[in-house]
Amino acid sequence: MDEELPIETSAAEVQWAPPPPKRSWVRRVLLLEDRIAASCQRQFEPGQPGHAQFDIALRASRCGEALFAQRTALSAEDATPAALSLFREALWWALTADALHRGQVAPSTPAEAWDAAVSQRETGLATLSTETLMLARRTFVERSFLASASLEFEENRKELIALRVATDRVIAGLNEAAVSLRYLRAVRIVRLATTIVCIVALLVAGGVKVQSYRRGPNLALHRPILTSSILPGTADPSEAVDGVTSVQGFHTQEEYQPWIRIDLGKATSVREVVAYNCAEFRSRAIPLVVELSTDGERWTEVGRREKVFSTWSAAFKPALARYVRLRVAGRTYLHLNEIEVYGGRRQ
């Protein structure tokens, strides 16, 4: 019986793994999945290692900043060492917080803390100028508190400015880790909401365009108008067919069965009439009757509205008409914003 030979496998075959699936642009750009996942690994919240030290660094930095902002205090030789001490304390606790946040052991000396932080890209120290790094390191690592107090004012001031810049850079990196996750989640919500609003707007606009295309042109647009009466001081009746649906187009006096008539110019096929009611006193347009005529004498009712409306579309079987009339079957005023008339639908 033949012995089974072992299957030889190359190192490349052992190490090969299928590439991770590519995320769609929706998940990367809209949902920010990659950035949120990375932020979750770096998030810095109360209760986590280093956050208590981060709070101390923030407080010390704010106190130093208060001294730094006082021009009169900075000009005094006894104020600069005090601000320098505060920023030195702030930087020490910030570097300690950074080490603990990364899962490392807290540094035991300023030199150890400084050297570890400079090698980390996230702290931002490596991006500072060589002069700033030299001055900040000298006052943080090499000088003692007593030595700083005995320096000349101008030298002390230069080291103070460099130390302040380095401290702010480390604290900014920690603060970014503390707030970035909340910020990214807020950005995702805003992007989702904006996208939804845009999609809805596009759908509405597309629906209006499709409906307008199917309806064909508005046969009543800028056509001659005649009304049973005109209430003095109101709009010219021609505004009832000017294409503006949000402004009152005409207003009759109070009378029995007030009406408005549109002359289409010639007999044509009509199958829909749309009426836009005014925002106030909408019940005055009830019951509203739509009538058609070829000669302006004999009228045929093709639609009637018994309930209050803001926009009413009266659709009916195509009929030949030159005149379209809207009439209220009762004693009242008649006022509408706009009237549209449509013929046969496009295929």
Residue 220 is classified by DSSP as T
Residue 10 has pLDDT above 50, yes or no: no
| Host domain of residue 273 | 225-342
Residue 145 has pLDDT above 50, yes or no: yes
Asked if residue 245 and residue 105 are part of one domain, the reply reads: no
Average pLDDT over residues 77-81: 67
| Better-scored residue on pLDDT, 38 or 129 | 129
Mean pLDDT (the chain) is 80
Q: How confident is the model at residue 177 (pLDDT cuts 50, 70, 90)?
A: low
Among 1-15, 78-92, 233-247, 330-344, name the one with the lowest average pLDDT: 1-15
- Looking at the chain, the whole-number percentage of residues with pLDDT higher than 90 is 36
Q: How confident is the model at residue 149 (pLDDT cuts 50, 70, 90)?
A: low
How far CA 186 is from CA of 101, 181, 189, 256, 300, in Å, comes to 24, 9, 5, 60, 60
Among 148-162, 168-182, 267-281, name the one with the lowest average pLDDT: 168-182
The answer to whether residues 338 and 240 touch, using CB atoms and an 8 Å cutoff, is yes
Per-residue pLDDT reduced to its tens digit, 306-343:
999 999 999 999 999 999 999 999 999 999 999 999 99
Q: How far apart are CA 346 and CA 212, in angstroms?
A: 10
pLDDT at position 42 is 54
pLDDT at position 181 is 58
Asked if residue 172 and residue 232 are part of one domain, the reply reads: no
Q: How confident is the model at residue 136 (pLDDT cuts 50, 70, 90)?
A: confident
Average pLDDT over residues 128-151: 79
Say if 7 falls within a structural domain: no
Q: Which residues contact 60 (CB under 8 A, 6 or more apart)?
A: 86, 87, 89, 90, 93
Q: How far apart are CA 45 and CA 11, in angstroms?
A: 43
Overall number of domains in the chain:
2
Q: How confident is the model at residue 295 (pLDDT cuts 50, 70, 90)?
A: very high
Asked if residue 141 and residue 48 are part of one domain, the reply reads: yes
Average pLDDT over residues 203-209: 65
In the listed set 125, 160, 188, which residue is the last one of a domain according to the structure?
188
Asked if residue 236 and residue 155 are part of one domain, the reply reads: no
Say if 220 falls within a structural domain: no
Asked if residue 240 and residue 159 are part of one domain, the reply reads: no
Q: How far apart are CA 262 and CA 258, in angstroms?
A: 14
Average pLDDT over residues 14-34: 55
pLDDT at position 11 is 44
| Better-scored residue on pLDDT, 17 or 59 | 59
Say if 196 falls within a structural domain: no
Q: Which of 22-26, 59-63, 219-223 has the highest mean pLDDT?
A: 219-223
pLDDT at position 78 is 61
Q: How confident is the model at residue 60 (pLDDT cuts 50, 70, 90)?
A: confident
Say if 195 falls within a structural domain: no
Structure tokens at 259: 């009406």
Say if 213 falls within a structural domain: no
Asked if residue 243 and residue 155 are part of one domain, the reply reads: no
In the listed set 188, 205, 235, which residue is the last one of a domain according to the structure?
188
In the listed set 126, 160, 188, which residue is the last one of a domain according to the structure?
188
pLDDT at position 184 is 65
Say if 289 falls within a structural domain: yes
Say if 166 falls within a structural domain: yes
| Better-scored residue on pLDDT, 119 or 177 | 119
The backbone torsions φ and ψ at residue 129, rounded to the nearest 5 degrees and listed phi first, read -70, 160
pLDDT at position 305 is 95
Asked if residue 172 and residue 35 are part of one domain, the reply reads: yes
pLDDT at position 232 is 93
Asked if residue 175 and residue 31 are part of one domain, the reply reads: yes
Q: What is the CATH number of the domain that holds 236?
A: 2.60.120.260
